[in-house]
Amino acid sequence: MGIDPGTNYMGYGVLEVEGRTVRSVVLGDIDLHRLSDPYEKLRTIFERVGALIDEYGPREAALESPFFGENVQSMLKLGRAQGVAMAAALSRGMQVFEYAPSRIKQSITGSGAAPKEQVAAVIGRMLRIDRPPRRLDATDGMAVAMCHYFMSSSPLNAALGSERKKGLGGGRKAASKEGSSSWERFLHDHPDRLIER
């Protein structure tokens, strides 16, 4: 499941993966713009994300990490929305991953600065989505899911495991049972990758 956090619209997409076949199960957005109480928005995010997880049963959740902008209040609101969506997934025992906005765009279009419209067009072609959603937040959510699929199916990322950087190109949630041992294991298993200085 991919989630594009937002305080007005929160985009989401669920993928089904069988071997190398990937298909779109559902994509859409959670409409929050009519809610004026910020705490009501957070409650709605938690309930709706939880309901989507209960209905479609994804095993993993990937979220776009907040980007750093000049408006601190906007960043705080976005971070809260992301945290509540993350908590909904964690409360159901899901693994949670984060990806930077530029990494998501790059994995879909090849450019980390691609506009939302380009991301939506590529997602539509990749997943053969005949009727595009009303808002680009939905395709942004599906783009997060596709980015996670690409990152988790990459041999290098699989080898690095939990050592992938959180929020800087996609990583597993910070709390890892393996800790730094996965990096040590990777170097042990691939001594040819170590460069002596």
> What is the rounded distance in angstroms from the CA atom of residue 15 to the CA atom of residue 1?
6
Number of residues written out for the chain: 197
Residue 189 designated active-site = no
Angle at 24 between CA 20 and CA 25, to 5 degrees: 115
Residue 192 designated active-site = no
Residue 64 designated active-site = yes
Name the catalytic one among 4, 29, 140, 163. 4
Name the catalytic one among 18, 40, 130, 137. 137
Q: Side-chain half-sphere of 62: how many Cα atoms within 13 Å? A: 27
CB-neighbour burial class of residue 117 (10 A; exposed 0-12, middle 13-18, buried 19+): exposed
Beta-bridge partners for 9:
31
Name the catalytic one among 64, 98, 140, 163. 64
Catalytically active residues are: 4, 64, 137
